[in-house]
Structure 1
């Protein structure tokens, strides 16, 4: 299937989704709705075990398309509809049952930064600076995402000033897994994707579900929840195959059952 704002390639259980809305991959309503559709489909695709989200051009995403924002009419329900689509756009990535690796090829600004933070793993190019300039255009979205990843002082300084920071800061703070030269970005993301795709897809998806669900739980309840997942996994063919492979000192062959 072809898309207006994205290209999609699936190979060896890895789906690569590439944002392609020149010149700076700014986000508008149709672009967001298309990504929601793509991720809903990939989440249910048995042949896909891990997803890489990257972008064409020199910018990962410059954030919300302000030209579209200016055209929203107050009192006509357009703000409510826009806000719902924006929420669903980020949730489609964050809640996708498959792990999502952001291969950030360039600047990630505002909603573009939030999109990267919605992924499970961030691998960034050395040119992938980040900023939250919402206050510069009279807006104030995204503080919840920033609070989740940064300490109080950095989060508020970043937001109130709209300053741009280098990707090395994401690595230093443990928010990005790796920062590499641009020509090695996809290779690095693929290295992680292949390693994940080689695991039991049932176990990996259960682990992602655990990460999502235990965030708001007390540790005691969270661990009990994880134990129920483990009990369910222990009854699968993949678990039995993993244990046999371990004993026999050979690579496991997972079938997703």
Structure 2
């Protein structure tokens, strides 16, 4: 893929690795967000990618929004409106990516960095990772919708109103993250999950990702009907027939994306 200023992108064996690299702590600016949107839009469209790993080259996963940048917002009319629109699309470029996204959290995920992690499909963390929603500490409010999807009423409000830090072990206990690994095992663990996913039918993976994103707010009956419609469409594809033949023949499938 193209060269980027704040991210490194590598693709191999149907796995894309997107590495955030804005030292010292991957603080988010307009430029970093615009760049990540472009990256995830491209990966959604890339037929050679089945799964994405989002990780960090710095000591933090992401420390959230760059507060220094915020002091200059609203210098002109409409500036804050544009800023907020970009922030929304930044998170949803990841959440709506047509490929499953694995977050490999190596250190602090704070504020908008925490929300970015929660926008991913599968979350893995190292023992050094910790999480915080400190918006009230800087006189702001945002991100409650992301944490409300994953935590209880009391925990959400405690997390938000106190800005307490929570270790990876606590999020694992609550079932929010998939696993906690030793620091030096994080990326290999993420690759292990990614390799498992990349071996599946690309068309089935995209349909499943679409289903998760669509049925969340639907009544169960309607949601299942929607999923059945996806299954009917998939059943008519060559890849579905190949997956079933391979299962019966006890061999790896060979997918052709049709």
Establish whether TM, by shorter chain, passes 0.5: yes
Residue 124 (structure 1) aligned with residue 130 (structure 2)? no
Give 1:173 deviation, angstroms: 1.1
1:147-186, aligned counterparts within 5 Å? 147-186=148-187
State the TM-score, normalized to the length of structure 2. 0.98
Give 1:241 deviation, angstroms: 0.3
* Contact persistence 2:22–2:58 (CA under 8 A): no
* Contact persistence 2:135–2:141 (CA under 8 A): yes
Equivalent residue, structure 1, for 2:49: 48
How many angstroms apart in 2 are the aligned matches of 1:246 and 1:38? 35
SS at 1:157's partner residue? helix
Give 1:253 deviation, angstroms: 1.4
SS at 2:102's partner residue? strand
- Structure 2 unmatched runs, 5+: none
Equivalent residue, structure 2, for 1:107: 108
- Structure 1 unmatched runs, 5+: none
Equivalent residue, structure 1, for 2:84: 83
Equivalent residue, structure 1, for 2:99: 98
SS at 1:170's partner residue? helix
Equivalent residue, structure 2, for 1:71: 72
State the TM-score, normalized to the length of structure 1. 0.99
Deviation sequence 1:155-208 (CA, Å, 0-9, x none): 000000000010011111111101101100000000000000000011111011
SS at 1:149's partner residue? coil
CA-based RMSD of the aligned residues comes to: 0.8
SS at 2:11's partner residue? strand
Residue 17 (structure 1) aligned with residue 18 (structure 2)? yes
Equivalent residue, structure 2, for 1:213: 214
SS at 1:145's partner residue? helix
Residue 146 (structure 1) aligned with residue 159 (structure 2)? no
